[in-house]
Amino acid sequence: MNTALRQQAAARRHANALRFLAIDAVEAAKSGHPGMPMGMADIAEVLWRGHLNHDPNDPHWADRDRFVLSNGHGSMLLYALLHLSGYDLPLEELKRFRQMGSKTPGHPEVGMTPGVETTTGPLGQGLANAVGMAFAERLLAREFNRPGHAIVDHRTYVFLGDGCLMEGVSHEACSLAGVLGLGKLVAFYDDNGISIDGHVQGWFRDDTRKRFEAYGWHVVGPIDGHDRTQIDAAIRTAHACDDRPTLVICRTTIGWGSPKMAGTHDVHGAPLGADEARATRAALGWDAPPFEIPQDVREAWDARADGAARSTDWRRRFDAYAQAYPREAAEFSRRLRGELPAHWPQIARQAVDSALAISAPTATRKSSQQTLELLVAQLPELLGGSADLTGSNLTAAKASVAWHHAGERPANYVSYGVREFGMAAVMNGLALHGGFIPYGGTFAVFSDYARNAIRMSALMRQPVVHVLTHDSIGLGEDGPTHQPVEHASALRVIPNLDVWRPCDGVETAVAWSMAIERRAASGKQGVCGPSALLLSRQNLTQRVRDPAQGALARLGGYVLSEAAGQMAAVIIATGSEVGLAMEAQALLAAQGVPVRVVSMPSTSVFDRQPATYRDTVLPYGVPRVAVEAAHPDFWRKYVGLQGAVIGIASFGESAPAGALYEHFGITADAVVEAVRRVIPSTAAAGAPARAEGERAPLDAHIVLSAN
């Protein structure tokens, strides 16, 4: 056998190790997706053993190549790669695939498994995350590299399948990637023609080459995804193109090697079965028992020594960079660690103090921009953007430098276009890469388009900030298509997502400060994660408060205005409706009914406070009324069934904001009526007596989930 044939045979054997680890793990779990790992094993072998710059000893090495498995159902391919390469993923964890508490969950999860760069499974989003990672590399390289000192110089590789390309988010992200010219992004398309329902020709006939060429991508192939020579040549061709992202179209056979199931949808999402697994072993000449890898194959896969050499060389080069550019080196290290500047507390205080100085009625979207003027100028890691609504979201500051206008200057603002889902998923990739705190704006009602990516940022606890303006029926004439009703509640029930609905500039500044402090690197349960800021279009009164009271907003809920006498009830409000609560308090005081007004800009933050604090804000036994121009059901957790909620349980209408609030009964008079309805008859002179047998209001206990 000549040298070339021996190399091909050895490579196939190395790839078969991936195949059989996947087959064995799926068999042991009695569930999973063996077809993709079997089909893409040859591509993975060439990439990981011949081209990927990584260090299993240091999965977080700053200049490593990023690898993303967008078709995350094929997770066992990634786990096999990590295990064989030498990451801290013992064989026992592969044997526990898809089991409780294992490091090998059904779909890859960042933070769960060493070497996993992002959580994937919802198809197409891994590809969008990869776009964000490649963009982060491009931005950091432009900002920090100096002549003779390329400290940021790595690639992002992504595996994807037919399902990823059917999802609309792939269009949004890949169209943007072409415009951005991300030359270090290389995507491998597993063109096997099979999805869960069968042959995709029945529902997916895109000319993928033309599609990506139209995006401005460099397209290679189709190639034979089982031919090592073609795969290697395709990767080298991709590396030679540095001005455009590359798509490599790989024709593969799903379940390659299986005598009966290869090329069928039967192998997509179910174990081969014991008989077919044995037949596949025989067909591929794999004699090793389940989960056993021959020693020579293990040695060939072990990347620890090469990885250590690569990362050590980079650290040597970084030390030279630090000698020449100490300030830049320190800043780069800080940002990659996810640390805020040492003077961050002063910045946060300044943001609140600046808001305290503003007395004119101001929309909270404008208050947000006023805060951003300060933050963007002092936090270079802030990377803003908007889904084609910059002038409405007010997400750009004077210090913002748009990418498409930046030239060679460091950019800190992105026009994402009308791509809400793509924007949110790309921001997740930017955050995962490190070095940036991304924020992006759209209308609150269009968070529906981005919801799954918002959910993914929460699942991954990434410090992404979603700026969602035009937060209620208060936006007015655009009508019910643009008026969010259920959105605040829907966002609040996403675990790990802090939702803020501030009532004025001070609360807006606090919301921004708290969002920025939610650093993924903190590692504190309940602290790290994304935030959503729900901001008004209409002007809101700036509440008079001292700095100490302003600081209480950091607790999520606080007493904004105390009752002028023995408290008869508590009014809880957020955002624009805090003004209605204050009006109602004054009207009730004139009627001899003292009530407390609680502003609760963030329910999740409030819920994390000690019970002793929550009880001081919402005392047991005191009737409660909540008011928010949103669906009322969420607020029952605070007011109980005997409390009252003023809200809107229908869609809105097209009319001026004032007319809408009157039409839907979200008024100060309605709040007054609700308060008088829930308080005992003895609480206020002239209050209507309870009917015989009518129960007094119940305590509204706050039910907290485990964090």
Which of 442, 418, 416 has the alpha carbon at shortest distance from 429?
A: 416
In the block, residue with structure tokens 């002179």? 685
Consecutive H or E run containing 386:
strand 382-386
Judge whether 499 and 488 are in contact, CB under 8 Å.
yes
Q: Are 596 and 563 in contact (CB under 8 A)?
A: yes
Q: How far apart are CA 162 and CA 157, in angstroms?
A: 17
On the question of a cis peptide bond just before residue 222, with omega within 30 degrees of 0, the verdict is yes
Long-range residue pairs from 401-409, CB within 8 A, at least 24 positions apart, any chain: 403/180, 408/142
Rg (C-alpha) for the chain, rounded Å, is 28
**572 HSE (CA, 13 A, CB side):** 31
420 catalytic? Reply is yes
Q: Give the HSE-up count for residue 276: Cα atoms under 13 Å, Cβ half-sphere.
A: 19
As a three-state string, the secondary structure of 190-258 is: EECCEECCEEHHHCCCCCHHHHHHHHCCEEEEEEECCCHHHHHHHHHHHHHCCCCCEEEEEECCCCCCC
CA distances from 523 to 343, 394, 461, 528 (A): 21, 31, 9, 7
Residue with tokens 């208050």: 367
Give the Cα separation of 215 and 70 in Å (integer).
19
Which residue, 183, 187, 189, is CA-closest to 206?
Answer: 189
Residues 152 and 526: their CA atoms lie apart, in Å, by: 32
Distance of alpha carbon 570 from alpha carbon 623, whole angstroms: 6
With residue 385 as reference, give the H or E element that holds it. strand 382-386
3-state secondary structure of 303: coil
Alpha carbons 680 and 688: distance in angstroms, whole number: 9
Which position among 420, 507, 577, 628 bears the catalytic label? 420
Measured between alpha carbons, how far is 249 from 266 in angstroms, rounded to an integer? 23
Burial of 692 (0-12, 13-18, 19+ CB in 10 A): exposed
SS3 610: coil
Contact 594, 566 (CB under 8 A): yes
Q: Which residues pair with 465 in a beta bridge?
A: 439, 531
Cβ neighbour number for residue 254 with a 10 Å cutoff: 28
How many helices (H) and strands (E) in the chain? 28, 18
The helix or strand, by DSSP H or E, that contains position 661, with its residue range, turns out to be helix 657-663
CA 525, 527, 533, 534 dihedral sign is positive
The structure tokens listed for 439 are 């924020």
**CA distance readout (Å), 20 to 23, 25, 224, 336, 403:** 5, 8, 21, 37, 46
By annotation, the residues acting in catalysis are: 420
